[in-house]
Each structure stands twice: as C-alpha cells, then as structure tokens.
C-alpha cells in the first residue's frame, strides 16, 4: 500500500495548544488544519476533505462526544481520535463506543499520536477501498 500523509483536522478550544499542534505537525510534513469548536469542525468538514480528526473531549457548547456523533453521522468514513485532557479513560472509551477510532490522554507523546493517526488513516483507506470496490 502506498503511504500517504493524512489530511488532519485538530479540534480544541485551547488556542495555544492548536498553534503548537499545527506547528509541530506541519514541521513533519503533515497537512493539518485547526478549528476551535465542534461547530467549526462540522462546517470545515462540509467544505474540506479530511482523513483524520483529532478531537478534544472537553469543549464549551458542543463537547467532543456530541461533535463525534455528528461527524460520524455526516462523514462515517472520517476517522476520529479523541483527546482526553482530564485523566478520564471513561470519556475515551465513551468516544470509541460512538465510533471514534482511538483516544489519547493529554499530555500525549507526539510519536504515539503520529503513529495512531497513521493507523487511523490506514483504516480509512481500507474502508474507502471496500466502499469503492
């Protein structure tokens, strides 16, 4: 299988975190965009193809679980990795039960997240192949 760099959307209400995330992933050659809310993520996905969404669980107005449900309803082949920032394994597991590919605890190891994004993208590519063929 040809390795491709996934198109990543990171969703978090912490602007400093978003800027650091984008800078570190762009430095590695990834195509990454960032938005600050679940509503903005849904609007972005309507206009832009994305392979993997990295989605914070705890956000104001529309939390990560609510955003995940809408993303999977509207874009079932987009893979989602949940970010849990409060030591809550339960919210990560809840995300998986609603269709998330995986979850990562904050603070996270960058190499670990890059690996999980790659695996999520591989799964997406396999699912796309199955839906086309």
CATH code, 42? 3.40.50.2300
Asked whether residue 1 is domain-assigned, the answer is no
Asked, for residue 75, whether it belongs to a domain, the answer is yes
Q: Give residue 118's pLDDT.
A: 94
Q: What is the pLDDT of residues 54-112, one digit of tens each?
A: 999 999 999 999 999 999 999 999 999 999 876 678 888 888 999 999 999 988 899 99
Q: How many domains does the chain have?
A: 1
CB-CB contact of 82 with 95 (8 Å): yes
pLDDT of residue 1: 40
Bridge partners of 81? 54, 102
13 in a structural domain: yes
Q: Return the minimum-mean-pLDDT range out of 49-58, 70-79, 121-130.
A: 121-130
Let me know: does 42 contact 30? Beta carbons within 8 Å: no
3-state class (DSSP) for residue 7:
strand
**Is 103 among the domain residues?**
yes
How much of the chain exceeds pLDDT 70, in percent?
94
What does the pLDDT read at residue 93? 86
Report the alpha-carbon distance of residue 52 to residue 123 in Å, rounded: 10
Is the pLDDT at 3 greater than 60? The verdict is no
Q: With 0.85 as the threshold, say if the pTM is over it.
A: yes
- Residue 2 is assigned to a structural domain of this protein: no
- Mean pLDDT, the chain, rounded, equals 91
Range of the domain at 32: 7-131
pLDDT of residue 5: 85
| 119 domain-assigned | yes
Residue 44: alpha-carbon gap to chain centroid? 13
Yes or no: say if 8 and 29 are a contact pair by the CB < 8 Å rule: no
């Amino acid at each position: 299988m040809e390795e491709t760099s996934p198109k990543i959307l990171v969703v978090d209400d912490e602007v400093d975190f978003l800027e650091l995330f984008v800078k570190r992933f762009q430095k590695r050659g990834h195509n990454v965009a960032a938005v600050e809310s679940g509503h903005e993520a849904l609007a972005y996905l309507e206009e832009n193809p994305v392979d993997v969404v990295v989605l914070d669980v705890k956000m104001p107005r529309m939390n990560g679980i609510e955003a995940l449900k809408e993303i999977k309803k509207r874009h079932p082949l987009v893979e989602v990795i949940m970010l849990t920032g409060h030591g809550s394994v339960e919210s990560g597991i809840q995300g998986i039960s609603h269709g998330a590919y995986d979850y990562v605890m904050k603070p996270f190891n960058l190499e670990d997240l890059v690996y999980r994004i790659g695996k999520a993208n591989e799964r997406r590519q396999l699912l796309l192949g199955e839906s086309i063929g």
